[in-house]
Amino acid sequence: MSAVFKHELRSYFHSLTTYVFGAFLLAFVGLGAMLYNIQAAVSNFEYVLSFGSLIFVVIVPILTMRVIAEEKKQKTDQLLYSLPISTWQVILGKYCALLIVYLIPMAIISIYPLIFAQFGDVYLLTAYGSILAFFIMGAALLAIGMFISSLTDNQGLAAGIGIAVVLFNYYSISLSEYVSTTAAGTVIALLVLILALYAIIRYLTKNENLAYGVSLVLLAGIMVLYFVDSSALEGLLPQIMTTLSLFERFNAFVNGVFDMTAIVYYLTVIAFFLFLSVQSLEKRRYN
Amino acid sequence: MITVEHLTKRYGEVTAVDNLSFQIDEGHVYGFLGPNGAGKSTTMNIMTGCLSATSGHVRIDGHDIFEEPNEAKRLIGYLPEQPPLYMNETPEEYLRFVGEAKGLKGAELAAQIAEVMEQTKITDVRRRCISALSKGYRQRVGIAQALLGNPKVVILDEPTVGLDPIQIIEIRDLIRQLGQSHTVILSSHILSEVQTMCEKILIIARGKLIAFDTPENLERELLSPSEITLTADAGAEEVRAILSSVPHITELSVTQEAGAYPVAKIKTDLGDIYQLSRSLFFAFAHADKALLEMTLKKANLEDIFLELTEEKAVEDSTAESEVTGA
């Protein structure tokens, strides 16, 4: 794992995207700090992070698009397969390198509240709680970005899908207000989701029976629920969208609550997408 | 050293490798030979753990590649068909990564990197970006990578493809050197290459092993009925009459184009082709006719290769028609 980690880290500091990633993050958070903390003279640094989280839509795909797609393109994934290291070691090595690249601008950002504290009353506990949550939320987005990169050998496509996914996640709270709250509307939306799940399972495992099986079980569950107690389905879709949104959960921290369930949720998302990335790489061995 | 048992790989309906079994012993240069799409790369990818098999086993020094992949992979150095290089790195950086991934550290890592760079003659370009290197040098960096960690077996998939003639000669020399200290397996669809470099040849066609022997044995066993073509200063009928008195001719055809000397094609079952050429010479001498030209068609691997792969194709098609007929 350490070999992959060192190798990735070295290549990050050779490439421009790392610096672009750091610069964008710092610039955007800096802009937020200027608008909120200086011009509006608000002493809450967490508002800056809430504002700054929008930049993830751009910088996460920029950083993660090449992680695995580039290996496939250059056929260096074949080297990784033939080396005496496991796929988990490859994925964890790559992910830890991504975290280090992300940690550097975050280390600079965590000085800001201290600077502001010199000139006024800053509630440091919520500021640093939010910074920690901001870091872990970004880490979850990086795991998602890495998985998307593992699906294709085209960096541009990986970036495009990445932007769409993060953007959808960002706006899913606002969108959830507009989606149907009726039971029938929920069922239709869930059917679409099941179809997407079917496609993903089939693509990843190349096992049609497994994909059918999982989809049919879910479908049967929803149908049973619909006919037994359709009121349970009312308003479920907006609820799901809000629950799954990484950004919505971050708001709790901004409001001054250190929400442990959100942290657990972020860590679960990280573990889940790292697992999917491993499966996606392994899949090429079992096609 | 390497045991492959009943290896099969299917891609949906297509069978790329079909029940392949063979054993490879330590310290020789082996050649995988077969037309494009015969299953050479697939077999090599499975042997090196890059690809799973549908069924069958591969054991490297007793370690199953699917069950103990790390132990097995440590014994193998692999150069895939397209050298897996990071284009924006220098050979030195690249080799450091591969060495570390193979578990080398500190002074040993530095010493091995220096050694393989010396062996593959890339020391001079070690600080240049790989993307700026010629194809021949890239191939050497790929081979250097395979040699790190001092593996017992080095597997090279089409190591000379796309190189110019001088680079080909250099890479072949390098492979011959490697054969002295490692077991080397290489694949190629070029016969002469395998013939000059390898001590044992595995011919693969349509995913099946159809021959496994030394180049000399393959020639001797498979091409005993040989051919002589001759031209004589006589009429076609006269030539036929003279040849009818010569023993051990199994097939004969005499052709004569207008205004030219007749040409006779002779096949024999004699093991020693010179015995036939001697009696042909005397037969024409006794008849007082001048023998203008005599060409002995010696067997070469090209013929065996074509013969074997074609034979196999014919067998397959007859087998198929039998099945459909039934």
pLDDT tens-digit series, residues B243-261:
888 888 888 888 888 888 8
pLDDT value, residue B138: 93
Report if residue B151 sits inside a domain. yes
Contact B73 A75 (CB under 8 A): no
pLDDT value, residue B145: 94
Scan residues 76-105 of A and list those with Cβ closer than 8 Å to B. Answer: 76-79, 81-86
A285 touches chain B (CB under 8 A): yes
Q: Is the domain of B170 the same as that of B103?
A: yes
Q: Which pLDDT band, with edges at 50, 70 and 90, does B321 fall under?
A: very low
pLDDT at B320 over 50: no
Report if residue A192 sits inside a domain. no
Mean pLDDT for each consecutive 10-residue tract of chain A (287 residues)?
92 90 94 91 89 92 93 92 93 96 95 91 91 96 95 92 92 82 82 87 78 89 84 80 86 90 95 93 80
- Rounded Cα distance between B191 and A202, Å, is 42
Q: Is the domain of B254 the same as that of B184?
A: no
Q: What is the pLDDT of residues B109-163, one digit of tens each?
A: 999 999 999 999 999 999 999 999 998 899 999 999 999 999 999 999 999 888 8
Report if residue A214 sits inside a domain. no
Q: Please report residues of B whose CB lies closer than 8 A to that of A76.
A: 84-86
A7 touches chain B (CB under 8 A): yes
Q: What is the pLDDT of residues B263-290, one digit of tens each?
A: 888 888 777 778 888 888 999 999 898 9
Q: Looking at chain B, which residue has its C-alpha nearest residue A84?
A: B70
Report if residue B11 sits inside a domain. yes
Which residue among B50, B86, B103 places its CB closest to the CB of A84? B103
Contact B97 A3 (CB under 8 A): yes
Q: Is the domain of B197 the same as that of B287?
A: no
User: Which CATH number characterizes residue B166's domain?
Assistant: 3.40.50.300
pLDDT at B303 over 70: no
A207 touches chain B (CB under 8 A): no
User: Which CATH number characterizes residue B282's domain?
Assistant: 3.30.70.100
Q: Please report residues of B whose CB lies closer than 8 A to that of A286.
A: 52
Report if residue B75 sits inside a domain. yes
End of a domain among B177, B202, B219? Answer: B219
Q: Is the domain of B245 the same as that of B161?
A: no
pLDDT value, residue B218: 77
Relative orientation angle of helices A45-52 and A16-33, to the nearest 10 degrees: 130
Mean pLDDT, rounded, for B179-186? 92
ipTM rounded to 2 decimals: 0.85
Q: Is the domain of B70 the same as that of B190?
A: yes
Tell me the whole-structure pTM to 2 decimals.
0.82
Residue B20, classed as helix, strand or coil, is: strand
Q: Is the domain of B52 the same as that of B144?
A: yes
Q: Is the domain of B78 the same as that of B196?
A: yes
Contact B100 A2 (CB under 8 A): yes
Q: Is the domain of B191 the same as that of B236?
A: no
pLDDT value, residue B325: 38
Domain count of chain A?
A: 1
Please give the angle made by the CA atoms of A50, A55 and A59, to the nearest 5 degrees. 140
Q: Is the domain of B174 the same as that of B204?
A: yes
pLDDT value, residue B248: 82
| Domain region containing A253 | 2-181+235-285
Domain count of chain B?
A: 2
Contact B86 A74 (CB under 8 A): yes
Report if residue A187 sits inside a domain. no
pLDDT at B223 over 60: no
**φ, ψ dihedrals at B225, nearest 5°:** -70, 115
CA of residue B97 relative to chain centroid, distance:
32
- The strand ranges marked E within B98-248 are 153-157, 183-188, 200-205, 208-213, 226-232
A15 touches chain B (CB under 8 A): yes
Nearest CA distance, B165 vs chain A (angstrom): 26
Q: Please report residues of B whose CB lies closer than 8 A to that of A86.
A: 69-70
Q: Is the domain of B148 the same as that of B232?
A: no
pLDDT value, residue B225: 55
Report if residue A17 sits inside a domain. yes
If you average pLDDT over every residue of chain B, what do you get? 86
